[in-house]
Amino acid sequence: MEDIPPELHPQSDSDRFLGFPHKDRWEQLKPVIVRLYCGNYGGNGKATKIKQIADFMRTHYSFHAAVNEYPPRFRLWEVNDRRSVKNDKDDVIYALSKRKRPGTSTSQVSIHDRPFPPQKLRRYLKEQTRRHNAVQTVMPGILFSWNLPYEAFVSSLRKNPDKPSPFGPNGTTPEYMKIRSPKPLTPGREADGPSPNLELVYQKARMDRASLFLQGQLEELIVSMCKEDRRLCVNYFHDFYIHGFTMAKNWSLDRLKAQNPPTPNINPQTHTSAASPAAPPLFPYSSSPSAIGYKENEDISRAPTQLCRWVIHVSDATEDYKIIDENEDQSLVQSSSMETNKVVDFTDELLQSMTSNSFTSTPLENLAIATDEVIRAIQEDPVALEVDAWKLAIMAGNSSLLSERYRNRERAPEGLDDIHPFHLAAAFLNGGHTCCMMFEMLVRILSPTYAFHHNVDSFGHTILDALLVSIIRSHTSLSPETVSFSFQSPNRFPGEEKDICGRWDPTTDKVRHLFQQGYSRIPTKWKHAFCHTAAQAICHSIIVIFGPACAPNINTMSGLFIRRCTICGMELRLGPLHTLVIITFYLAQQGMPGETLFGALAVLVCLLSLGADVSLEANISVEEILGNAESRECRHKPFSPFQLMQEVPDDLIDGWSSECRTGWSSFAQVLAHVEASMNPPLSENSDRGLRAQFGEYGDDNSEISLDYDPEMGPCGLENWPSGVHTNWLKLKCQSAEMGLLWATIQTELLTYRRIGVGDAWLSDNFSMEALEAWLKGNSAEFLTPLVQDQMLQEHSRCGWFHRVGRLVCPTAPEVSASHFMNMDSGGRGTYERATFLDVPDLIFLWADVTVLEEP
């Protein structure tokens, strides 16, 4: 639907009449429904379809009426059929364009049981073709939204009984229209081609579909085609997605000057404009099934590998550290030294690829969409392709390409906000190759204030939500719709095709085989426990986003796990730490073998170090979250994050592994410690009450180590510019216990990875059991080797390694008293899994920022 007048949208909740019974709401909403029915809001000036009205009322008015309930209402209200002759003709074209059987003819159509004159349709089609010369605008980001081939795309759809195929079981031919089936062919006789009238029908339909595509009306586009046309169209644009992703992944400043890599039957490119005869692109990445050696029965039960890659931040990532990625196109790397005088532009290459059709084995004449109209629109609106170039660079994790795109224009392209770049970077986070560097580049070119003004996307998810989704997606078997209603259709998490640990991406053969076989989601068997590679990438990204004074509010309510009370209708929305508690629960309940919850603990302490509020309460129904709500009364009430943990039934916890029980207890004790430290000093009597409140996770002799001291002494950051803990940076000064824990967590993340499949998920230097005993008060000290063996460099009381200039993102040597990191040793097999990157210069980026106030 398009061009809906503002007055037809609800201006307030009272306009939705939610307090009325369903049968009474018909009369209350009648003015809106009738205006929609009588208007031409169906797209391209067409009459609004009843299904579109039902969808609009369901989305904007929470009015859940089936499509077949509307016609009787219109008859009851004596609303005349608003269809015009023009609408009839459009509907005939729409219905005939989906019929490809030999013998189909425009003379087989009846309207209201009367034959429809083919000559009228012919005149109308010629007139529409003659008038069609307007170039349409391109919806930003639409070209590279086709991340699944057809079989996987269809399997990702949530079937709706009120929708047409492939989204549901319904047909699309109107009830008032009949189209006779053509007579069967005589045996041995070849079918005649389409009649001239039918060719005009197909031509008009192809142009209409191009318009739907350019407007981003993808559901309407898919529905408008028959099954075979849908398959060709989806696979065609998926081929372009793979081609663009591969280009973006391998593109760098050196390769911009590279000669064409040696590829059979491909000549070095000569410059042509998009309007010139098609020439082969500089990067001919074919993405057809044959190009990947597609095998129908390929075994996809095992992951490409269970071993992560990892990023090692260094002070100077010189050539001595350069590691060639085994997934990289080596011909491009080898050709990077062969320079020419011509610099090739990335967007020119994308357009040239589409113009030449060299990225796919699908002939253009077989497509049921006017690709020439799409190309013409892109040529007339190069900014739209620029947004797609940014989108590809972010998804592929190529910060050099992103920087290049920015320098070409010295500003971000219009429409960039529509793709939500920070959320997109979170969905495609790659701890095995780029860590937090894409966020650092986005902050650098868009300014540190961008995230503040664009913290919530069109789904209501915050940037932190998007990062937390990557944990759920990669390390649990939780279904997408449980996490957010926005993930229902397609029923998959954003970015599933790219592993957070760097083990696969959309161009990996095994991933492509998986999707070709109709799987739309990564199998649970491919996943593993919440590892250090993922935890480091998450924590570093959180620091990049929420460290400066102008950062978004870290305590913004979450858009994940939203529930609504079925009794009173209240929306139940979690705080960020509540959301992390739920994710930690699911890591233990539906996580992967070997899970320790160390990663969740690391994210928690990182958030606390940046000011996350442990005392923030949220109205929560635990029964709704866990999916066992059967009560006839409201069960929600305010909970702090720690109180929410106390609501988890013991019988569930008892069923977890001992590692998860220890991690859960430690997580809870951290929340209890910080929450208790926010209170004033307690008397002996009140201390007993505190133990009664927080002692559930300890034994009878345990004590909460509060160490509350209003004069805690110097922090260690006093020599840094004023405002480290107030105005300049949002680093919260914590107790010495939490500071020590944060320092040990950072050191563990920077110094240890699993080298072999059988290795432990935690190093011997960090003991979760010792942490639990210390937090419970069963041990006076944190008896873990990192502390007991004095393996840490000096750090501030709040856990930051302040003796180094980078402070918020130190390197392994800067946190370790001696070298004990295992990630840069162990032979070539270990060394090649590492990517060495410069430390992000966040202090420089944040030098001049100031606090921003929310409106």
Q: Mean per-residue pLDDT for 453-479?
A: 97
Pure H helices in 678-767: 684-694, 736-751
| Cis amide linkage into residue 710, ω under 30° from 0 | no
Give the pLDDT band of residue 629 (cuts 50, 70, 90).
Answer: low
Q: Mean per-residue pLDDT for 452-467?
A: 96
Q: How far apart are CA 680 and CA 491, in angstroms?
A: 48
The answer to whether the beta carbons of residues 543 and 313 sit under 8 Å apart is no
Contacts of 700 (CB under 8 A, 6+ apart): none
Q: How far apart are CA 573 and CA 566, in angstroms?
A: 14
Q: How far apart are CA 718 and CA 722, in angstroms?
A: 7
Q: Mean per-residue pLDDT for 342-354?
A: 87
Per-residue pLDDT reduced to its tens digit, 296-306: 556 777 778 89
Per-residue pLDDT reduced to its tens digit, 68-112: 888 888 878 767 555 444 567 788 888 888 887 776 777 788 887
Residue 660 has pLDDT above 90, yes or no: yes
Contacts of 169 (CB under 8 A, 6+ apart): 159, 161
Order of all β-strands in the sheet with 114-115:
114-115, 109-111, 177-179
Q: What is the mean pLDDT of the chain?
A: 82
806-844 per-residue burial string, b: 16 or more CB within 10 A, e: under 16: bbbbbbbbbbbeeebbebbeeeeebeebbbbbebbebbe
Give the pLDDT band of residue 445 (cuts 50, 70, 90).
Answer: very high
Residue 683 has pLDDT above 70, yes or no: no
Residue 267 has pLDDT above 70, yes or no: no
Q: How far apart are CA 407 and CA 253, in angstroms?
A: 12
Give the pLDDT band of residue 497 (cuts 50, 70, 90).
Answer: very high
Q: How far apart are CA 151 and CA 516, in angstroms?
A: 7
- pLDDT above 90 covers a percentage of the chain that reads 50
Q: Mean per-residue pLDDT for 367-395?
A: 92
Q: How far apart are CA 694 and CA 57, in angstroms?
A: 48
Least confident of 139-148, 324-333, 397-406, 536-545: 324-333
Residue of 242, 258, 245, 240 whose CA lies nearest to 330: 258
Q: Mean per-residue pLDDT for 518-544?
A: 96
Helix, strand, or coil here: 60? helix
Residue 261 has pLDDT above 70, yes or no: no
Per-residue pLDDT reduced to its tens digit, 567-623: 788 899 999 999 999 999 999 999 999 999 999 999 999 999 999 999 999 999 888
pLDDT of residue 154: 93
What's the burial of 55, exposed, middle or buried (CB within 10 Å: 0-12/13-18/19+)? middle
Give the pLDDT band of residue 720 (cuts 50, 70, 90).
Answer: low
Q: Which residue has the higher pLDDT, 565 or 604?
A: 604
Q: Mean per-residue pLDDT for 532-556?
A: 95
Residue 270 has pLDDT above 50, yes or no: no
Residue 156 has pLDDT above 60, yes or no: yes
Q: What is the DSSP letter of 416?
A: G
Q: How far apart are CA 234 and CA 150, in angstroms?
A: 6
Residue 546 has pLDDT above 80, yes or no: yes
pLDDT of residue 194: 75
Contacts of 260 (CB under 8 A, 6+ apart): 266, 267, 268, 269, 282, 335
pLDDT of residue 588: 98
**DSSP bridge pairs for 838:** 314
> Where is 114: in which H helix or E strand?
strand 114-115
Contacts of 459 (CB under 8 A, 6+ apart): 484, 486, 559
Q: How far apart are CA 835 and CA 452, in angstroms?
A: 30
pLDDT of residue 691: 39
Q: Which residue has the higher pLDDT, 325 or 104?
A: 104
Q: Which residue has the higher pLDDT, 49 or 103?
A: 49
Q: Which residue has the higher pLDDT, 631 or 677?
A: 677
Give the pLDDT band of residue 129 (cuts 50, 70, 90).
Answer: confident
Contacts of 339 (CB under 8 A, 6+ apart): 257, 258
